[in-house]
Structure 1
Amino acid sequence: MTAEVIDKQAVAASFSRAAATYDQVAELQRSVGSNLLARLPESLEVERLADLGCGTGYFTRALNARFGQPVLGLDIAEGMLRYARAQGPVSSSWIAADAEALPLRADSRQLLFSSLALQWCPDLSQALKEALRVLEPGGLIAFNTLVEGTLQELRDAWQAVDGYVHVNRFMPLAQLQQILADAGFARWRCEVETHVLHYPQLSGLTHELKALGAHNLNAGRPGGLTGRARLRALTAAYETFRQPAGLPATYQVAQIILHKGQQA
């Protein structure tokens, strides 16, 4: 995303409000995060690691279980950190932090893990620059992010209704790959997964996005409440995508691992 289309304060506030409801509806988030965790080398052993955009701490706890080491959980949303702190584990610590300006020493972490968080950074290149600074030589960052094509059905349905920005914009894959290539890591891998969720009614999707804190956070979004007439028009437009399993919502998820080079 670019600075013109994302507001960090809005992101932090939205996810803070969603802390208590997030885990109840985060099936996709757990699935893609688990897939990212499974992509880590089986032989990987680390002692100093951090979970960027830790949210409720679900994967902070999973990392603690995988490596048997304390995990530092960082998130821009203080409401999420309060919730995560209440869940444990006691071996973890929690810090309010911006991925584009990490409060960590250079060469201090062997592993950075981040699941569905870095797409909210206005400047992904800066976040990766920070990751490269913080990682020890030979360390790695594993992260996933949403790319263009995500929620395309919802975007297309809204296009049939009005000209406002109602759906979060996500980076084209080619742009993401160029950023990865230019980030200064010794090597990297990027694989895209397509996930399609289905809902009996459109309200199921919209309520889920609100519960996740991931509803529209872009500049250009309409102010105020959405009128009944526009909601009826949106529902009718979305119905054109209906499949036997229900109304589809497509997510395009890039799964990425970047390795920092060894230095003399």
Structure 2
Amino acid sequence: MTDVVGSDSALPDKRRVAASFSRAATSYDAVAELQRAVGNTLIERLPDDLEPNRWLDLGCGTGYFSRRLAQCFPQAEGVALDIAEGMLRHAAPQGGAGAFVAGDAESLPLREGSVDLIFSSLALQWCEDFPAVLREARRVLRPGGIFAFSSLCAGTLQELRDSWQAVDGFAHVNRFRTLDTYQHLCADSGLAQLELSVQPRVLHFAELRQLTHELKALGAHNLNPGRPGGLTGPARIRALIAAYEQFRTPFGLPATYQVVYGVLRKES
């Protein structure tokens, strides 16, 4: 794996993200129905004629899609990369990729022009500097290479956000870029845009605690800077439940995810 090079450790403002997902490594797969559905949709959106010699699973998590990519492209060499070392320790024994690498999407530890496909599903919403992600993708892709990603945009978990707003006005829910921001940044990336679209996905829960348990098990609970500290008291929890109940449907309590799908190509 001579194209994998050393990199600096994660920047300080990313350590909380890495630690949160590391802690969630053993619980993640049990509650990752949405993540698998979104990643499988992203695989379906890859170009039909794509035959990579080398792929990168960027933000590989537990390695589920590293194993899927190995099935889709059995002749290709695979690299699985994640900022959360706990995820890599969990993923590596299950195989799928030839190398499991700790690294940052904003500063990839890969050589220029070393991969034909970058696949990244529901990881890049945690990257503050998305232009850097795009620059790095363009740098490490070979001409004709594909950068396929799914991410989350503004409007995700809006029901939970609005319910907390009614309780105390604090930012208890992760913030995400707008679709317009994704569109402008991808248009300016120097990569050809084959697809960029948003698709809402709605999960339903019998009780609010099922949603909050799932977010914690995924490592995707509130990671906002300046989030409220300390424990949430019983009165505030009761108020939150009452506020969220206003969204209940015959299917249960909805949790809406605004999923962005992007497929970009490096022309030269």
One fold, TM greater than 0.5?
yes
Cross-structure match for 1:251: 257
Shift of 1:189: 1.6
Cross-structure match for 1:160: 166
After TM superposition, the structure 1 = structure 2 runs for residues 34-73 of structure 1, keeping only pairs within 5 Å, are 34-68=40-74, 69-73=76-80
CA contact (8 A) 1:197 1:250 kept: yes
Question: Is 1:180 the equivalent of 2:186?
Answer: yes
Deviation per CA, 1:151-207, whole angstroms, max 9, x where unpaired?
Answer: 000000000001211000011111110011111113342011110000000000000
Cross-structure match for 2:3: none
Of 66, 81, 85, 1:78 maps to 85
Q: Distance in 2 between matches of 1:21 and 1:109?
A: 31
TM-score, with normalisation over the residues of structure 2?
A: 0.94
Shift of 1:61: 0.5
Of 209, 222, 229, 1:216 maps to 222
Q: Distance in 2 between matches of 1:41 and 1:182?
A: 22
Of 20, 44, 54, 1:14 maps to 20
Of 146, 151, 156, 2:157 maps to 151
Q: Distance in 2 between matches of 1:149 and 1:260?
A: 30
Greater shift, 63-72 or 204-213, is seen at 63-72
Cross-structure match for 1:196: 202
Cross-structure match for 1:3: none
Q: Aligned residues: percent identity?
A: 62
**Structure 2 counterpart SS, 1:127:** helix
Shift of 1:224: 1.1
**Structure 2 counterpart SS, 1:193:** strand
Q: Distance in 2 between matches of 1:171 and 1:102?
A: 22
Shift of 1:42: 1.7
Of 118, 130, 136, 1:124 maps to 130
Q: Distance in 2 between matches of 1:141 and 1:84?
A: 22
TM-score, with normalisation over the residues of structure 1?
A: 0.95
Q: Distance in 2 between matches of 1:53 and 1:104?
A: 14
Q: Distance in 1 between matches of 2:33 and 2:164?
A: 25
- The number of aligned residues is 256
After TM superposition, the structure 1 = structure 2 runs for residues 237-248 of structure 1, keeping only pairs within 5 Å, are 237-248=243-254
Shift of 1:209: 0.1
Shift of 1:93: 1.2
**Structure 1 counterpart SS, 2:167:** coil
CA contact (8 A) 1:164 1:220 kept: no
CA contact (8 A) 1:151 1:251 kept: yes
Off by >6 Å, runs of 4+ in structure 1: none
Shift of 1:44: 1.0
CA contact (8 A) 1:187 1:260 kept: no
